[in-house]
Amino acid sequence: MLPLQPFYEEDTLELLDVNQDKEERKLHCILQSKKASSQCPNCGQLFSRKHSRYCRHVKDLPFIDYKVELQIIVRKFFCNATSCKQQIFTERGLNLLESYGRRTARMDKTLRSIAFSTSAEQGSRLSKQLDVPVSAAALLRLIRKTSLHSPSPSDAVGIDEWAYLKRHRYGVLICDLYTRRPIALLEEFSADAVRQWMSEHKNVRVVSRDGSLKFKQAIQESDQNITQVTDRWHLVHNFNERTERILPQVVGSRIPIPRDDSQPSEEHQPHSSQTDKGKQKEQLMDQVKE
């Protein structure tokens, strides 16, 4: 057996066997949980009486030039607490895995980095080259699953509509103006959704927004002391639009440049202008002497 145990968390998982498929360039690792007990997800108590076990098939990051597939033997336990509704539960706390995931947590982390670095289609192509193949749809699901929750949103936020599907479905995006990071994505583009979010974040004092009356009213209703400001993008955009509309009315669409043909241009008479200046200088000097 290949000595791969140090690569798996020794406190939770034990490596039982490794099969090497040279043709397919794959490693099949069989692991089992080493934990003597597990916590019931309902009542939170630890129990060790085993009910049964089953296999989970999970993809892991490639090892050198080999794709890695894990077969993890996971157990189910009885919950003996009389007041708990959960009679049987699957063991938790295997750090390598996220619940119900088909990939290890570290593989998800790598794919999440790809998903946030490029488009879903490009990311999917890149993932195949890196031996962690996923579809574009799977990358989009990973992005949507990623928590945007900020533990302490600042007192200044920006708010704008967000297109889940352009011209069909819109939500609301809220960003922290100090960190410049998104902190919430509201499912609905509605005043109720904004009002609800504002009521849960009483520390917000300044909201930057577009000209939407829907946002204006929802923010006002949630807290009248919040200062609402126009965001820079819409301010400049609206200014440009107005200027383009008003300027032709004020100065006309064609602006004639006056031209005096009677006077020869300076470039044809450089010496004469210099002579004039010289004469003026001499006259001034004479006046001073007098």
- Asked if 229 contacts 207 with a C-beta cutoff of 8 angstroms, the reply is yes
For Zn ion, the closer of residues 78 and 162 by Cβ is 78
Site for Zn ion contains 77 (CB under 5 A): no
Judge residue 39's burial from the number of C-beta atoms within 10 Å of its C-beta, 0-12 exposed, 13-18 middle, 19 or more buried: middle
Site for Zn ion contains 48 (CB under 5 A): no
For Zn ion, the closer of residues 79 and 218 by Cβ is 79
Point out which span in 32-40, 191-199, 211-219, 277-285 binds Zn ion (CB under 5 A): 32-40
For Zn ion, the closer of residues 2 and 88 by Cβ is 88
DSSP 234: H
Nearest CA-CA partner of 107 in 89, 133, 78, 81:
133
Q: How far is it, in rounded angstroms, from Cα 84 to Cα 79?
A: 8
Residue spans of alpha helices (H) in 101-174: 105-117, 120-129, 136-145
Non-local CB neighbours of 69 within 8 Å, separated by 6+ positions: 26, 27, 28, 29, 57, 58, 59, 60
Provide, rounded to whole angstroms, the least separation between the CB of residue 83 and Zn ion.
8
- The 10 Å CB-count burial string (b at 16+, else e) for 26-38 is ebbbbbbbebeeb
Q: How far is it, in rounded angstroms, from Cα 98 to Cα 59?
A: 12
Helix %, strand %, coil % of the chain (to 5): 35, 30, 35
Report the residue from 43, 73, 136, 173 that binds Zn ion according to the rule CB under 5 A: 43
Report the residue from 32, 39, 42, 135 that binds Zn ion according to the rule CB under 5 A: 42
Cα–Cα distance list, 204 to 223, 227, 259 (Å): 9, 9, 59
Point out which span in 11-19, 24-32, 81-89, 263-271 binds Zn ion (CB under 5 A): 81-89
* Parallel/antiparallel/unpaired status of strands 26-33 and 66-78: parallel
Provide, rounded to whole angstroms, the least separation between the CB of residue 75 and Zn ion.
15
| Matching residue, tokens 């189910």 | 76
Q: How many residues bind Zn ion (CB under 5 A)?
A: 7
Provide, rounded to whole angstroms, the least separation between the CB of residue 99 and Zn ion.
16
Site for Zn ion contains 134 (CB under 5 A): no
For Zn ion, the closer of residues 19 and 87 by Cβ is 87
- Partners of 59 in the β-ladder: 69, 103
Point out which span in 35-43, 102-110, 208-216, 249-257 binds Zn ion (CB under 5 A): 35-43
Site for Zn ion contains 40 (CB under 5 A): yes
Binding string, residues 82-101; x marks residues near Zn ion by CB under 5 A: --x-x---------------
Report the residue from 79, 107, 111, 132 that binds Zn ion according to the rule CB under 5 A: 79
For Zn ion, the closer of residues 86 and 122 by Cβ is 86
For Zn ion, the closer of residues 36 and 250 by Cβ is 36
For Zn ion, the closer of residues 84 and 173 by Cβ is 84
Site for Zn ion contains 81 (CB under 5 A): yes
Residues interacting with Zn ion, by CB under 5 A? 40, 42-43, 79, 81, 84, 86
